[in-house]
Amino acid sequence: MRRKKSGSSFGVLFLFALIIGGALYIYNSAIFERDVPEITMENNGYWNLKKPLKIVIDDASGLKSYKIVLKNNGERQILQHEQFITPESALHVEVSPPKSAYAMKTKDITISIEATDASKWNMLNGNSVKVEYKLKIDKKRPQLSNVANSYKIKKGGAALVVFKAKDDNLKDLYIQTNFGKKFQVTSFYKEGYYISLLAWPVTENSFRATVVATDAADNIAKINVPLYLKDKRYRISKIKLSDKFLNGKIAELAEEFAETAGVDDKIEQFKIINEDVRAKNEKLIHDITSNVPEEMISNFKIKKMYPLKNAAIVAHFGDHRLYSYQGSEVSESYHLGLDMASNAMAKIKPQNSGDVVYADYNGLYGNMPIIHHGLGLYTLYGHCSSLNVANGDSIRAKAQIANTGKSGYAMGDHLHFGVLIQGIEVRPAEWMDTQWMKLNISNVIKDAKEIIDRG
């Protein structure tokens, strides 16, 4: 009896262990996993009905089935439904919009995605999950139209454009060019209207500007800015480097810049200064002058520029300078401002008010203040002997900001006057010409406002 009893209790224990072990096995086994399938759908809350919806469904034990349903206004429509004999994993599903989606009365839809995995859990039924995404249908492209703009743009010069852009979910608005530059736009005068100054870089042979509007559903609209293109030939100056110049000004500058440290060859020094140092100095200028304030503007008034009284023009904008030494070309550069000279240490007084965004030494440009006049229009004053302003100052029109000098890469006392639009140097001559200013700036603003006021 005792033996039998102990044997039977051993049997019960064995059975119990078997059940526990079996349960543990099931509990820890991959085919009995208890995680629901993972569902993701690429979306930002909008659907333009052009691109398919991209859905990824994944599960450790594979998928047995899934179902995608579109719900709209109480109606349900199955978009896709599949069952798999062999479990699928990392399933990528693309769902094209159903025809009915184009005729739906409300723009708000729900995409409901259900999936069940191939796990033996849940009495062999597997783990199920349902995920819902709310989307807004937007298949309408933004509306774009030209309002007013300069009639033409000259190579190296500027233009002004005002246009209208309308969309309920406008996401991105800018002006694309053929040379890669994207001009930022500023809200102008009334809601839905925008303004931008444009610049045709002197180094580019063609110019094309296209307004691009994108909405949250990725509907895109484009219109061309209708500008008549006017070519302009710029001077090519061949400059022979003399030993006097190399041993004088260049040797002096070479001592100043870290880039020329350890370089003894005079031509190498010149190349580094004319190319590397110049590129670095110009990058700083371009970075500072690329900024455009975002706030809406209701007007843009600029007076004819003439920062130096009774000055003679000593070098023009856009000169392509080719440097040679002992008969062979060694370097080149573009002169991106207008050089003006009067007396030594003459007073520099811009005609327009603005904000000082830089007032410091900048390599070849010497002591250099930069003033922002609004709308991404900047003026720059190089080679100054002394500065009367500091970064962050607001200046009034005709305030004396500096004195001319020969700091940086300058042979004699003069002002290097630069005008920049969103980081691109333009011809100062246009901004010093009453007729050009009237035709391209004040008249465009006036015309635009009249058109906008008419509705």
Q: Contact residues for Zn ion (CB under 5 A)? A: 337, 339, 416
Structure tokens at 362: 């900048």
> In this complex, which beta carbon is closest to Zn ion, that of residue 337 or of residue 354?
337
Residue 393 has φ and ψ, to the nearest 5°, of -70, 150
Smallest separation, CB 97 to Zn ion (Å): 59
> In this complex, which beta carbon is closest to Zn ion, that of residue 219 or of residue 379?
379
Residues 428, 89: Cα–Cα separation, whole Å: 64
Question: By C-alpha distance, which of 423, 442, 445 is closest to 183?
Answer: 423
> In this complex, which beta carbon is closest to Zn ion, that of residue 118 or of residue 308?
308
Residues 107, 97: Cα–Cα separation, whole Å: 13
Coil, helix or strand at residue 64: strand
The total of other beta-carbon atoms located within 10 Å of residue 442's CB is 15
> In this complex, which beta carbon is closest to Zn ion, that of residue 114 or of residue 339?
339
**Who's near 350: CB < 8 A, 6+ residues apart?**
305, 307, 371, 379, 381, 395, 397, 398, 399, 401
Residues 97, 217: Cα–Cα separation, whole Å: 14
> In this complex, which beta carbon is closest to Zn ion, that of residue 307 or of residue 337?
337
> In this complex, which beta carbon is closest to Zn ion, that of residue 64 or of residue 416?
416
324 φψ region: left (φ > 0), alpha (ψ -120 to 50), beta (else): beta
Smallest separation, CB 304 to Zn ion (Å): 21
Closest chain position to Zn ion (CB): 416
Smallest separation, CB 315 to Zn ion (Å): 5
Smallest separation, CB 219 to Zn ion (Å): 47
> In this complex, which beta carbon is closest to Zn ion, that of residue 339 or of residue 430?
339
Smallest separation, CB 307 to Zn ion (Å): 13
Under 8 Å between Cβ of 152 and 158: no
**Who's near 12: CB < 8 A, 6+ residues apart?**
none
Smallest separation, CB 338 to Zn ion (Å): 7
Smallest separation, CB 237 to Zn ion (Å): 12
- Residue 60, CA distances (Å) to 89, 91, 116, 321 in order: 7, 12, 12, 67
Smallest separation, CB 334 to Zn ion (Å): 11
Smallest separation, CB 227 to Zn ion (Å): 28
Which stretches of 63-208 are assigned E, i.e. beta strand?
63-72, 75-88, 91-95, 108-117, 128-137, 143-149, 152-154, 158-166, 170-177, 182-184, 186-187, 193-199
Residues 1, 315: Cα–Cα separation, whole Å: 122
> In this complex, which beta carbon is closest to Zn ion, that of residue 174 or of residue 245?
245
> In this complex, which beta carbon is closest to Zn ion, that of residue 278 or of residue 449?
278
